[in-house]
Amino acid sequence: MFLRLVCAFFLPPLAVFLTTGLSLDFVINIILTLIGYVPGIIHAFWIVSKEAENS
């Protein structure tokens, strides 16, 4: 969990990939990161947090 949160800050698509694999969330995160780095970070934190709640 901690590693994914660190990845979510520095490499948002990597954190989403480690959490969901090749999915629509991964593609959305790449697009958000390319548009602006901060939206990609927010989305990655949301995906990692959502997965932590489900586990």
In tens, the pLDDT along 1-55 reads 889 999 999 999 999 999 999 999 999 999 999 999 999 999 999 999 999 888 7
- The SS3 call for residue 21 is coil
Note whether 20 and 47 are within 8 A (CB). Answer: yes
pTM score, whole prediction:
0.92
- Check residue 1 and give its pLDDT: 83
Closest C-alpha to 44, from 22, 13, 10: 13
- Check residue 26 and give its pLDDT: 98
